[in-house]
Amino acid sequence: MRRVSTPRSVAAGAVACLAVLALPLGSPAPATADPPSLTTTEFQVPVRYVAGCLSTVFTCWYLPPLTTVTPSATTDTPGRVTFTAKPPTPAYYSCLDVTVHWLNLTTGAAGTTALRRVPPDNSRRVPQDEWCRYVPSTAVTGSGTIAATADVGAVALWAYQILVTPGVGIIPVP
């Protein structure tokens, strides 16, 4: 007597039909919007300056180097920009605050924000990569194209600073 394999093919066909019918139904999870994209734009022109000490007590026996700070802007929320900056290069004692002036070219809104130095933790030895860091600052700029300039902060009594080139950046904000 010969065996017939009809039940196996019928079962396979039924599973295939169910799979095809289930595809249009999709998953029972609700649809969600994509999270806002995080976009970071470095300023196209970094801030460059020279800073040195002026003192009658301690004499400065060196020529200060040309220092570079590169600000950046991060947009993760519509109409808001978070400015920050990388530590200066070369790693030097002249860790100056950075002032960012921005203008929304679409709406005409303008403002200023400051990137302040993170106060050093003097309770322990500070590693060189933590010596000069900046606290991020968020500005409500509105959506559009933002033109920003950056320069170094106020002059200290014990030092001089000469701005060589201000930083410049163009930032698209959703």
- Model confidence pLDDT, tens digit, residues 35-65: 557 899 999 999 999 887 766 555 566 777 8
Report whether 174 contacts 143 (CB < 8 A): yes
How far apart CA 160 and CA 51 sit, in angstroms, is: 6
- Within 13 A of 94's CA, how many CA atoms are on the CB side? 27
pTM score: 0.72
Q: What is the pLDDT of residue 120?
A: 74
How far apart CA 112 and CA 100 sit, in angstroms, is: 6
How far apart CA 87 and CA 90 sit, in angstroms, is: 9
Q: What is the pLDDT of residue 57?
A: 57
Q: What is the pLDDT of residue 36?
A: 59
Residue 59 to residues 26, 62, 66, 99, 159, Cα–Cα distance (Å): 75, 9, 20, 29, 12
Read off the amino acid at residue 40. Answer: T
